[in-house]
Amino acid sequence: MAGEGDLKLLGMVVSPFVVRVRMALHLKGVSYEYIEQDLFNKGELLLKYNPVHKKVPVLIHNGKPICESLAIVQYVDEALAASSPSILPADPHDRAVGRFWAAYVDDKFFPAWIGIMRAETEEDRAKKMSETAAVVEQLEAALAQCSNGKAFFSGDSVGYLDIAVGCNLFWLDAMRKMFGVVVIDAARTPVLAAWADRFKESDVGKEVLPDGDIAVEYAKKIQAYRAAAAASK
């Protein structure tokens, strides 16, 4: 992988937003130092380089921080490894459409599946699943719009919108293992389900996407933390 000066990534292995940035760096073939963060005990580096939100990911390039995953991905694409293929579409309209749907993923899709995770009853989880299904159907429509019938959102190969959506897939696997729910259902959204399978088998999917068991372990840790906090009140 190519060197691009002093490049560090502050992250957390179970964060889909961190995974998104790692996917972008992988696609560009850029080497970097990864520094795992404990969000229960935030360290000096994180507080120094992201004093506003105090969260990951943070990319530090030659001492200068860039925060928020979509902004970092665009920075990686524009500022690093210029000889590598672009992550964002070259056409201005396609690039704008990709940014629109990436924002939709973070504004609608991520909160939807988080709602399933946090549901306290089966009834509430079923309601959240119904709400999430409507969001997923919009992503199926976005795939049809952006891919032009090809394998990925970006066409023949993985690109910006693919990693914007795909970074969430390991958590969907975790929810299937924990609750028996299928968020991207082949019966309801077959094109998106087929895309998800292809993405997991792509080079970036195999190399960067964590195993769902890692997310399951973290979810159990959070559950235990919340239970202990509730018991201490």
- Domain borders along the chain are 7-79, 92-217
- More confident position, 130 or 3: 130
Query: 54: phi > 0 → left, psi -120 to 50 → alpha, else beta; which?
Result: left
Residue 61, both tokens: 């390039």
Determine the average pLDDT of the residues in 146-173: 98
pLDDT digits (tens, 9 = 90+) for 89-99: 999 999 999 99
Count the helices and strands in the chain (H runs, E runs).
11, 4
Asked whether residue 3 carries a pLDDT value surpassing 80, the answer given is no
- The number of angstroms, rounded, from the C-alpha of 178 to the middle of its chain's C-alpha atoms is 20
Indicate the angle between helix axes 122-147 and 110-118, nearest 10 degrees. Answer: 160
What's the Rg (C-alpha) of the chain? Answer: 18
| The pLDDT value given to residue 2 | 58
Return the CATH class of domain 92-217: mainly alpha
- More confident position, 167 or 5: 167
pLDDT digits (tens, 9 = 90+) for 107-134: 999 999 999 999 999 999 999 999 999 9
pLDDT digits (tens, 9 = 90+) for 161-201: 999 999 999 999 999 999 999 999 999 999 999 999 999 99
pLDDT digits (tens, 9 = 90+) for 52-87: 999 999 999 999 999 999 999 999 999 998 889 999
Task: Find, among 117, 5, 106, 12, the residue nearest to 58 by Cα.
Answer: 12
H or E stretch covering 228: helix 212-231
Is CATH 3.40.50.670 the classification given to domain 7-79? no
pTM of the model: 0.95
